[in-house]
Amino acid sequence: MSDRDGKIWMDGQMVDWRDAKIHVLTHTLHYGCGAFEGVRAYNTVNGPAIFRLAEHTERLFNSAKILRMKIPFTPEQVNEAQCAVIRENKLESGYLRPLTWIGDKKLGVSPKGNTIHLMVAAWPWGAYLGEEGMKRGIRVKISSYTRHHVNITMTQAKAVSNYTNSILANMEATDDGYDEAMLLDASGFVSEGAGENLFIVKGGVVYTPDLSAGALNGITRNTILHICKDLGLEVVQKRITRDEVYISDEAFFTGTAAEVTPIREVDRLEIGCGSRGPITEKIQSAFFDIVNGRNPKYAHWLTKV
């Protein structure tokens, strides 16, 4: 991935992709204190646009605040950097990765006196969990790894270090032949996927774990809450047990990368009819209308690049 054409925005400059490098003594590389975002640009009916850019940038600044890192740019500069990266790389759609990290001035655990950096890269990225998964649904395993407790790592920060837990859970699930992991919190209640929020449907009502289960406050999750309201679907945010997931009528993951991915199986148990459910399909279709600029109500969520 490092050796390719294209540009990466790095600390205010457009740098050639293959020259966008950092030193091996970079603090974040050693201790994992950094924050990032995952953002998508869509080739909408009005041209390339970034979906919910302001909200992603706000979460990046909030993640940095939680980690006590001061990003040396304004949110407006970070927004503009993301638009510029899409333009410079001539992308019509794609995935954006802003990341803020602590520099290489010193290597003690304390980051005080070190420098804070920011980069934004973008590249084409299709369906995160596969095109087929978007239609048929994916197979998920409840992880043997517990999701972060809210007072161990900071679960509302999209922190670099939080992802070791996601990586372990994803590797365990995929090594066992599943597509993705679902993690439980320290009390055993359902939290989220390795990189996705979870929704289930039971008796026509949509349920999602409340954020005290250590799930990230997903921007797609929030989009789904709006969509459900528009579709007249009741949504309940509550503690959810794994057996509630097993006996749900439908289940799906949401995320910027995963978009709306139906779940057809959990721990080898079929969910509902064992394929994408009708309510999931409705929500998925409304989601793609919004991100592709086909729903004027949410035109303000799309920033033209």
Q: Which residues bind ligand PMP (CB under 6 A)?
A: 38, 166, 192, 195-197, 215-216, 218-221, 254-256
Of the two residues 139 and 158, which places its CB atom closer to ligand PMP in the complex?
A: 158
Rounded Cα distance between 293 and 49, Å, is 9
The CB-of-21 to ligand PMP minimum distance in angstroms stands at 25
Of the two residues 118 and 224, which places its CB atom closer to ligand PMP in the complex?
A: 224
Name the residues annotated as catalytic: 158
3-state secondary structure of 297: helix
The CB-of-103 to ligand PMP minimum distance in angstroms stands at 24
Q: How many residues does the chain have?
A: 305
Of the two residues 111 and 255, which places its CB atom closer to ligand PMP in the complex?
A: 255
Q: In the chain, helix, strand, coil percent, each to 5?
A: 30, 30, 40
Residue 69 near residue 27 (C-beta atoms within 8 A):
no
Of the two residues 254 and 284, which places its CB atom closer to ligand PMP in the complex?
A: 254
| Torsion, Cα of 199, 201, 204, 210 (10° steps) | -40
Beta strands, E only, 11-70: 13-16, 34-36, 39-44, 47-51
Mention every residue, 6+ apart, whose C-beta is less than 8 A from residue 206.
199, 200, 224, 228, 233, 234, 235, 236, 279
The CB-of-10 to ligand PMP minimum distance in angstroms stands at 22
The CB-of-88 to ligand PMP minimum distance in angstroms stands at 23
